[in-house]
Amino acid sequence: AWIPLEPAQCELYTKFCASKPVRDVVNKTGSAITCMNVLKKICDHPSTVCGTNDGDIDDTNVTDFADDENENDDDDAGARKSVAGEAALAVSTAARECSFDPGALADAEASCSSKTQFLMHMLERFRTQGHRALVFSQSQATLDVIQRNVERAGLSFLRVDGKVSADERHRRVTEL
């Protein structure tokens, strides 16, 4: 199902699409993967690309953009980080011009993301019907956003990600 972006999400997406890193991709001089990853993260939840201070990008997200590039490529890591830094600056600048509620963005509230709102609605619906749900994501940042909203809603959950040891993972899966 298609889930339309929230107005501020759409505004950020559009502004980033008009940025220099995206223009460089169109002109075949930039990194398409970096730009696509930024756009994907905007669609997941804007807080995954925007820091908590007035739309800033934190160093972790800049590194994430660089790490999202083809890891098997022999390109210079410094060049990748430079491209990622340019994308981070572009999305940070765009975020400052958008109409996000800074508190809601900093708290990764569902109101900033249509996907998160939809997921929370579905999880609540499943809970009231007595069902359990498995939620998958390739991004730990997205899982962090989901976890904050699930906790805020008072829903019980078990999280298994790459940081969980094999023994603990087995225990959690057995518990589920």
Asked whether residue 95 is assigned to any structural domain, the reply reads yes
51 has a pLDDT exceeding 90: no
Contact 122, 153 (CB under 8 A): no
Are residue 39 and residue 75 in the same domain, yes or no?
A: yes
pLDDT in tens, 112-164: 999 999 999 999 999 999 999 999 999 999 999 999 999 999 999 999 999 99
**Other CB atoms closer than 10 Å to residue 85's CB: what's the count?**
18
**Which of these three, 102, 130, 159, is where a domain ends?**
102
Residue 58 belongs to domain spanning: 7-102
pLDDT in tens, 161-174: 999 999 999 999 89
59 has a pLDDT exceeding 60: no
pTM of the model: 0.78
Are residue 85 and residue 159 in the same domain, yes or no?
A: no
User: What is the pLDDT, as a whole number, of residue 93?
Assistant: 87
**Which of these three, 102, 128, 156, is where a domain ends?**
102
Q: How confident is the model at residue 81 (pLDDT cuts 50, 70, 90)?
A: low
**Which of these three, 102, 128, 150, is where a domain ends?**
102
Asked whether residue 53 is assigned to any structural domain, the reply reads yes
Are residue 30 and residue 110 in the same domain, yes or no?
A: no
Are residue 90 and residue 143 in the same domain, yes or no?
A: no
Domain total of the chain:
2
Asked whether residue 1 is assigned to any structural domain, the reply reads no
Question: What DSSP line would sit under 123-149, residue for residue?
Answer: HHHHHHTT-------S-HHHHHHHHHH
Are residue 112 and residue 167 in the same domain, yes or no?
A: yes
Are residue 27 and residue 92 in the same domain, yes or no?
A: yes
**Averaged pLDDT of the chain:** 84
User: What is the pLDDT, as a whole number, of residue 16?
Assistant: 94
Are residue 165 and residue 90 in the same domain, yes or no?
A: no
Higher pLDDT among residues 101 and 151, named by residue: 151
∠ CA 122-43-91, rounded to 5°: 150
Task: Give the up-direction half-sphere exposure of residue 90: CA atoms within 13 A in the CB hemisphere.
Answer: 24
What are the strands, taking DSSP E only, across the chain? Answer: none
